[in-house]
Amino acid sequence: MILTRNAILKEVEKKNIIIKPFKKSNIGPASIDLTLDNKFRIFRNNIKIKLNENSDYRKYTKLIKTKSIVLEPNEYALGITKERIKLPSNICGNITGRSRYARFGLSIHVTASYIQPGINNKQVLEIKNVSPFSIVLSQGLKICQLVLERTEGNAVYRGKFKNQKDL
């Protein structure tokens, strides 16, 4: 079942869900707005990547720290949320874009929208400008929403990105 504002606030108050930094005003009717941090990864041009379980995106990207970045038409970058999210073993989530930005052709995840129970990390965003014009993204922009759901039973993600803090 999707958690509504009151349920989210109750879980935050009980410290079952931890969001740092936390702003109560970012809690919507059934989601949490997450903001963009100042770190981005841009893929190098003209490279060939052979994907496998050990592929590391950092090998093919350049880390940029900036207050704002311009995404040109069809350009793709990795971003990261300012907020670190810690979920208990009975709550999972999905990251979704905000319709106000989707209407301008901004996609904030390619396919990796699911957030496992038990995570304690910042969320990496796969940001793509699918519009015919340039889009400026700035640090602090409420770029996406986190929708939380209770799981049936408990489970904890123990994968590679469980405690990811950086891009």
Catalytic residue chosen out of the listed positions 11, 75, 126, 149: 126
Q: What DSSP line would sit under 24-78, residue for residue? A: GGGB-SS-EEEEEEEEEEEEPSS------TT--GGGGEEEEE-SEEEEPTT-EEE
- Is there a contact between 8 and 32 (Cβ–Cβ < 8 Å)? yes
Is 126 designated active site? yes
Residues marked as catalytic = 126
